[in-house]
Chain A
């Protein structure tokens, strides 16, 4: 017998409908929306079971909360689904190429996550007696050893919570050192191309910031720098490799000049990835440098943090390091937590407790996984990849500073002139091609800057496809097809957002609608 039961197995032979077709739910297949968590609750639900509180005589002194807070009640599966749906609206290094210059979006190994959560590490309380946390202190001491060895520096302050916090640590050490000598210096020199955190940090330390111009080759102008030096200069803050992706070839002269003038050399270590194992900042005359563990040593960026920014210090600055720090004695490891005794000259404390321990564990696991050989390979492959992209795109995009680059390739927007397409439009079109855009409009010294940092994690095949896609887009722009760029992105969870409206009338939180129909909002949220 013929059997034609069951489902059809071929698509119907009709023309496809409009891909922009609206749906009843607002979802589009795997593209799932989730309203704000506040719009989904039903009073009385709960997502955490816990014991019933014992009835006790209150010791709150009559200050019991009187008004409800207004938060929604939800079950565990609702909360899980909400945040899973949100997660799917994010681009991530795990899902695609993320060549965001200056940010070092590299692979984040999962062993790091695993060891940070071990019982006996992730659950340690910072105020346990030090006799009960010898393993934790050993990790801090061990990471300190790796950082000092990698940078060729004699000391490291571990507690700063992020790169900018590390800068603050370094510049405070500089100021404390000058003050200890009875010197009141007032100026800090910062190249034009620096990250915004550099001048902001110097200002927070009471220094007047003076910008040093760049030479035609993208390096700091040595003559202009020398001319600005004087007995009132506290130091220089220099990023090396710099934000144009170039090694400051005069770095040793810069160090010598600032030292001769009685100042100190702060190096912004944001781009340390490019030089791991190839050169030690300590051999270049650096006095202080922060290390972004969340860039170079892959502790995850997590949508903006947390970071960790230990600061290596020269012998001249080491005595002024902030507390706490780990010491090693006959009875094992100990913590110096007060600015007295061994820490008499310390400039103070930067953070609660002992630093970003969770990040220390991840960074140390990453370093052990790579070893001395792997760390050097990181720098070599990161620089190799950046130059491969640079050469691959050199016929399509203009380099303001031609020649070999370090870990990132910088282009300007001169190729786009007259096309009606801006750097921003190009970036949004890259989203449609499945890429996270490069860093744009930074450094400020280059017009319409595009800063591409591929990192060592990417394969040649990924880079070839990227070069192909960029070339395709640039040809399209030059062919006069600007409209596709101006309306991009077309395939993201949102089109371009009204940032002007957001800034003119800031809405920074959800507020309950007046006369809210709770059931109505809950219904529309059910999905």
Chain B
């Protein structure tokens, strides 16, 4: 077995040194009746070549979005990942290190986390950010828990236009706590009315921008209303590239931003691992969940970085911790940081502009087709269209033509008959004009 160094002779010599006669003696504490004598009913070990072949065979059974026109979004977006980003995260020193508990020999990870926190705070328009959460949906749930702690209130009002997975994860996470969520129904036309729901017992209102249907909105007035009632405004961002083009949540008055960072540097990978973003105001920092990296100096006065404010966390506070989270999204936050560094101020704004122009171009092409109506008045790189038939079956027909033509809303909101003909369509920098034209031609055939 190529991964294990001992020879049979070495094992024997080591057993002698330990003072036992066989390896079974080392497992003597396991109750006799539960011990396995033979091997598990699983295949035997395989060579690297065979393993690679197995996975190539499995990969060939899938339709790769790289190889085909793809207009899928709904919370995960196809973007180009620069090769530098994927190269760096495969460096042994980043790939095979643990959580930076020994700061003297972990400055690489720590400085990168500090840069990540800074980038996330900057793009969201907030003061501070943590060192990442599992993904956008879990970050949203943690943001709601945090708002309940900050306000010492127990109810969260959740927009009907929040991504349904975020809504479900938040409800699930809170279901056995003393906190509760009020989920509002989706609103396709006009603005959601939160006024009647905001009161002195509300901890927070959760909205998404751009929302699940792709609409871009100004939440400044809502933030003011929340603050008047002593509640916090949580803004969810699940297409983080949009922050290069639109007013950031911090400038609208958001108190917590919960985001999905996948679009910057993280491959789609069938839904995970991704990287959850969580940013807030400095005054709430002690109520934040997750790891935080802080700047300090070493004995010689050199700048260095450490994990800090750990007393919030489970390994010290145990049942009184701000969250049970331990693992973060380490490598995904690193690839985010590298990609964002490559983009810089200029590149991030340009990427956002390019995404928007791609989506506008596609929208204009789709609007010209009979039987298709664009539902949104505003959008960034994703919008909702109403088709003249059931969106799921149209998507299947497109897939049969090797076109990944959007996400049927009914896959995420299944119980609403008014939405069965709605399709979410996204266009990023990865879509070529020829992709769009193939999509348009195929749609005309299947509609």
Contact = CB atoms under 8 A, between A and B. Distances in A.
On whether A and B touch (CB less than 8 Å), the answer reads yes
Given A128-B404, A168-B324, A308-B273, A388 B17 contact: yes
A146 B42 contact: yes
Contacts of A202: 319
Given A63-B218, A121-B59, A498-B298, A56 B169 contact: no
26 contacts: A41-B345, A56-B361, A69-B123, A74-B342, A87-B108, A107-B3, A120-B62, A121-B270, A126-B271, A135-B62, A138-B58, A163-B326, A196-B316, A283-B34, A301-B99, A305-B273, A305-B331, A306-B328, A352-B163, A369-B48, A371-B45, A380-B23, A384-B26, A459-B5, A489-B105, A497-B104
Given A56-B364, A149-B41, A303-B98, 20 more contacts: A43-B346, A48-B82, A59-B356, A59-B360, A71-B343, A115-B56, A125-B76, A138-B61, A203-B321, A300-B96, A303-B109, A305-B329, A306-B331, A370-B1, A378-B4, A404-B20, A436-B98, A437-B102, A460-B13, A510-B114
B442 interface: no
Contact of B172 (A67, A203, A322, A391): A322
Contacts of B95: 92, 94, 108, 113, 300, 302
Interface stretch (B128-136, B147-155, B182-190, B196-204): B128-136
Interface in B1-27: 1-6, 10-11, 13-15, 17-20, 23, 25-27
A161 B132 CA distance: 13
Interface in A48-62: 48, 50-61
B108 A90 contact: yes
B245 to A, nearest CB: 6
A388 B5 CA distance: 15
Given A65-B244, A65-B246, A132-B404, A306 B332 contact: yes
B107 A89 contact: yes
A383 to B, nearest CB: 5
Given A66-B247, A125-B70, A135-B61, A47 B341 contact: yes
Interface bin, chain B: 35 or more
Interface residues of A, number: 202
Contact of A507 (B23, B51, B295, B346): B295
Interface in A372-396: 372-378, 380-381, 383-384, 387-388, 390-392
B270 A354 contact: yes
Contacts of B41: 149, 372
A247 B308 contact: no
B175 A278 contact: no
Considering the complex of A and B, which 4 residue pairs feature the smallest CB-CB distances, nearest first?
A: A353-B271, A348-B172, A126-B271, A135-B61
A373 B319 contact: no
Contacts of B357: 53-56
Interface string B106-145: 1111011011011101110001110110111110000000
A162 interface: yes
A368 interface: yes
B67 interface: yes
A57 B347 contact: no
Contacts of A301: 96-99, 330
A87 B94 contact: yes
Contacts of B48: 109, 111, 369
Contact of A115 (B55, B171, B321, B344): B55
Nearest to A375: B40
B314 interface: yes
Given A108-B95, A306-B331, A352-B163, A205 B176 contact: yes
B43 interface: yes
Interface in A113-133: 113-129, 131-133
Candidate in B20, B291, B347 with the most chain A CB atoms within 10 angstroms: B347
A457 B319 contact: no
Nearest to B269: A358
Given A125-B78, A404-B26, A161 B272 contact: yes
Contacts of A492: 104-105
A458 B306 contact: no
A124 B64 contact: yes
A134 B58 CA distance: 8
B323 A496 contact: no
B354 interface: yes
Contact of B324 (A46, A52, A167): A167
Nearest to B3: A107
B336 to A, nearest CB: 12
A53 B175 contact: no
A373 B216 CA distance: 56
Nearest to A36: B115
A304 B99 contact: yes
A163 to B, nearest CB: 7
B72 to A, nearest CB: 4
Contacts of B329: 305-306
A473 interface: no
B26 A383 contact: yes
Interface string A78-114: 0110111011111111110010100101011101011
